[in-house]
């Protein structure tokens, strides 16, 4: 199953990703924003794969060990290409702050069946999550975005190492 995921989506995503511009070597270290979005991306992908019944236990264990940093550089590139310096600075201050980390932790629990955020917590963070800059960030880094293609280009080789059928 894991090999099928890689084969069916990988070729199309890879061809599109290769058409994206390459970024200069020596890019700055990843931002707190990229770290937050990379961790969310990897966690969401792991959640999606956990629901697949035909992934073997060794493949599943390997997937669980994939670090959040597996897509960090690609996520940084996507964010840098999407946000202007003022927006990036605004989000960087937010995600580096204790409040930003708290809000992001609540947001990450959205959809969590065991520990979902309360209505009060969601009410508190919705204005921050729905800000114009946050919306732009989420649109650029979601699974449905073109930015996701670049991130998947970084993720597929890591995921392929977990496949025991290929």
Helices and strands in the chain, H and E counts: 9, 0
For 97-130, letters b (16+ CB in 10 Å) and e give eeebeebbebbeeeeeeeeebeeebeeebeebbe
| Residue 35 contacts residue 95 (beta carbons within 8 Å) | yes
Given a cut of 70, is residue 164 above it in pLDDT?
no
Alpha-carbon distance of 64 to 162, in angstroms, equals 10
pLDDT band at residue 1 using 50, 70 and 90 as cut-offs: low
Share of the chain above pLDDT 90, in %: 15
Whole-number pLDDT of residue 27:
56
Residue 115 is given by DSSP the state S
Q: Which two tokens stand for residue 94?
A: 């937010």
What is the chain's mean pLDDT, rounded?
78
- Which residues, including other chains, have CB under 8 Å from residue 14's CB and lie 6 or more apart? 153, 156
For the stretch 75-100, pLDDT in tens is 999 999 889 999 999 989 888 888 88
Whole-number pLDDT of residue 146:
66
DSSP annotation string for 89-115: HHHHHHHHSHHHHHHHHHHHTTT-SSS
Whole-number pLDDT of residue 23:
39
For the stretch 34-66, pLDDT in tens is 999 898 889 888 888 887 888 888 998 999 999
For the stretch 127-151, pLDDT in tens is 777 888 888 888 888 766 666 788 8
Whole-number pLDDT of residue 19:
35
For the stretch 116-125, pLDDT in tens is 888 888 888 8
Comparing 22 with 154, the larger pLDDT belongs to 154
């Amino acid at each position: 199953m894991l090999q099928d995921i890689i084969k069916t989506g990988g070729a199309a995503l890879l061809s599109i990703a290769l058409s994206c511009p390459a970024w200069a070597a020596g890019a700055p270290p990843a931002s707190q924003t990229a770290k937050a979005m990379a961790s969310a991306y990897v966690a969401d992908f792991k959640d999606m794969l956990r629901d697949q019944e035909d992934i073997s236990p060794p493949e599943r264990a390997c997937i669980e060990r994939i670090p959040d940093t597996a897509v960090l550089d690609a996520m940084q590139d996507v964010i840098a290409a999407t946000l202007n310096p003022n927006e990036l600075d605004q989000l960087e201050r937010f995600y580096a702050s204790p409040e930003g980390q708290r809000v992001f932790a609540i947001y990450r629990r959205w959809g969590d069946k065991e520990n979902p955020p309360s209505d009060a917590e969601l009410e508190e963070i919705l204005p921050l999550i729905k800000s114009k800059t946050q919306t732009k960030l989420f649109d650029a880094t979601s699974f449905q975005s073109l930015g996701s293609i670049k991130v998947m280009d970084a993720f597929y080789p890591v995921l392929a190492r977990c496949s025991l059928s290929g």
